[in-house]
Amino acid sequence: MMSEKRIKRLRRSLLARDLDTALIFGPENRFYLSGFWAEDLGCTESSGCLLITRDENLLLTDGRYEEQASREAKGFRVLIYKTGLKGLLRRIFKELEIKRCGLEENYISYFRAKSIKKAFPEIKWVELGPIVEKMRSVKEQEEIEKIRASQRVNEEVFEEVLSNIKIGMSEKELSFMIFKGLMEKADGPSFPPIVASGPNSSLPHAVPTERRIKEHEPIIIDMGARLNGYCSDMTRTVFLGEPGEEFKKIYNVVKDAQKRAKERIRAGITAREADSFSRDFITEKGLGKYFLHSLGHGVGIAIHEAPALSKRSRKNLKIGMVITIEPGIYLPGKGGVRLEDMAVVKEDGVDVITSNKWFYEF
């Protein structure tokens, strides 16, 4: 029923743009519209695409995914190509008299998009743009509950990991502990866990190394679960032993900056305004140049999706969007602090999904 509702919305967009059909290549978009979940390993490989016409729902894939597609994509006619996608498209376009087709070019390589267009010069190709992504940015209640469930599992694993962190343990060992827990309790991680200790924590997207964790230093742990197709995302900065005064100050600035944003974000404001709630506060404290990224991002089927809570974005936040609120301060060569919660945007504020736990009072 959910897929039918979503496809009806997509069809209205196709009609508004006078398109006969749309080719959907994005894995998250395929899943959102059909329930078919198969990863693409890169822009040069694909596990298939959806062809949504004004009257039909088709899933085009190869023999590796025939059984999975038939089981997962309810309400779709599954067609298997044995000699390549273009041959199957040629038959379908002729059968359905397709003249204008929307194409998700941002999910396939330039070479492949060019090749598809060249094979069908009689078709008017139109870049589809982020139509499905815009639909996905506002979550239905069922989706919000799935994200909540994913975060509950994420927190269970975090709590177990937190109780087992030891001085002398490597970042890689801690990362593996997170990965193992998420594989046991969920469908796996929603992204490779970030574990960054000491000076490595000054890198917002640090990759875990063999570096050994030391006493008193910041340890940024950024992790998320994937459960039933939906992601979660949470960051905490922890210390083994009391940190020095400099990192106590930085920690409190980040915590207060996050609190200000959580108190002020609501539907109707722009993403740029949301970002400013934390950024302006950090700047007032003389640390603005060390806040190196945007305040947050949307979370759903993908770990990073619309909206982007960036100082460059003038998009309005809408009721039902699920966002992260994650200010951070990163001192080169010394270390950093980041705190991240997920929240649902409401008319008069936000409903924070992440538990109000694992914060320090310095």
Domains and CATH numbers, the chain: 2-136 (3.40.350.10), 138-352 (3.90.230.10)
> What is the distance between the alpha carbons of residues 189 and 172, in angstroms, rounded to a whole number?
15
**Whether 321 contacts 344, CB under 8 Å:** yes
271 Cβ contact list (under 8 Å, min separation 6): 307, 308, 309, 310, 313, 314, 315, 316, 317
Residue in 158, 163, 209 with CA at minimum distance from that of residue 179: 158
Residue 173: per-residue pLDDT? 98
Residue 265: per-residue pLDDT? 98
321 Cβ contact list (under 8 Å, min separation 6): 137, 138, 139, 298, 307, 344, 345
Buried b (16+ CB within 10 A) or exposed e, 97-107: ebeebbbbbeb
Residue 45: per-residue pLDDT? 78
Residue 166: is it exposed, middle or buried by C-beta count within 10 angstroms (0-12/13-18/19+)?
exposed
pTM: 0.95
Condensed to tens digits (0 to 9), the pLDDT of residues 60-95 reads 999 999 999 999 999 999 999 988 999 999 999 999
| Angle CA 295–296–300, to nearest 5 | 175
Residue 174: per-residue pLDDT? 98
Residue 3: per-residue pLDDT? 83
Instruction: Taking the CA atoms of 286, 236, 323 and 23 in sequence, report the sign of the dihedral they define.
Output: positive
Condensed to tens digits (0 to 9), the pLDDT of residues 321-349 reads 999 999 999 999 999 999 999 999 999 99
Residue 1: per-residue pLDDT? 57
**Whether 236 contacts 339, CB under 8 Å:** yes
**Mean pLDDT for each consecutive 10-residue tract of the chain (362 residues)?**
86 95 96 93 83 95 95 94 92 94 93 94 95 97 98 98 97 98 98 98 97 97 98 98 96 98 98 98 98 98 97 96 98 98 98 97 95
**Whether 310 contacts 270, CB under 8 Å:** no
Amino acid at position 136, single letter: R
